[in-house]
């Protein structure tokens, strides 16, 4: 038995159009499916709009994806995670243009919580001194921390 990779990350959003402006237009993910779903979970009357996004450059049968989830039958609740709290507190995308992408995100009004910095490969599970990575963390439209990493 083997783990083949990360299947997906689900992100609850308050406003789908605002979330798509971030994940599709600024991050660069491709919408694979935009659907209204009903009758899932414990409450069969529950409805949601779910948008499934993938990297347009990732291939293979085990491609990971992001699901943006806007509840349609109840008001959004909760608060965005804070970095380093218990539980899932951020997720990250590999990119090849971190500084340019970050500038577009900042120009669109999103805040940076960790400015670009260089990290040793050891922070990515590789042998110390074997390479460097550029990394930065921003907040999405709902305040969730989203990281970007670029191998230098």
Q: What pLDDT score was predicted for residue 43?
A: 67
Q: Express as a percent the part of the chain with pLDDT over 90.
A: 71
Instruction: Determine the Cα–Cα distance for residues 87 and 4; give it in Å rounded to an integer.
Output: 22
> What are 57's two structure tokens?
């450059």
Q: What pLDDT score was predicted for residue 50?
A: 95
Q: What is the mean pLDDT of the chain?
A: 92
State pLDDT tens for residues 107-148: 999 999 999 999 999 988 899 889 999 999 999 999 999 999
Instruction: Determine the Cα–Cα distance for residues 134 and 54; give it in Å rounded to an integer.
Output: 22
Pair 31, 52: CB distance under 8 Å: yes
Question: For the whole prediction, is pTM greater than 0.85?
Answer: yes
Q: What pLDDT score was predicted for residue 40?
A: 66
Q: Which residues make Cβ contacts (< 8 Å) with residue 44, sequence separation at least 6?
A: none
Q: Is residue 55 packed enough to be buried (19+ CB in 10 Å), middle (13-18) or exposed (0-12)?
A: middle
């Amino acid at each position: 038995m083997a783990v083949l990779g990360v299947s997906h990350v689900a992100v609850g959003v308050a406003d789908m159009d605002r979330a798509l402006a971030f994940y599709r237009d600024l991050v660069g993910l491709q919408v694979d499916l935009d659907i209204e779903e009903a009758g899932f979970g414990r409450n069969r009357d529950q409805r949601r709009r779910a948008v499934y996004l993938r990297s347009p450059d990732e291939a293979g049968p085990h491609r990971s994806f992001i699901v943006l989830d806007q509840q349609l039958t109840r008001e959004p609740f909760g608060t965005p995670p804070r970095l380093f709290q218990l539980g899932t507190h951020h997720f990250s995308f590999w990119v090849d243009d971190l500084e340019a992408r970050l500038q577009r995100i900042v120009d669109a009004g999103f805040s940076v919580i960790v400015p670009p910095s260089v990290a040793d490969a050891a922070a990515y599970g590789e042998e110390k001194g074997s390479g460097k990575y550029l990394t930065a963390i921003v907040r999405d439209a709902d305040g969730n921390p989203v990281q970007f990493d670029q191998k230098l």
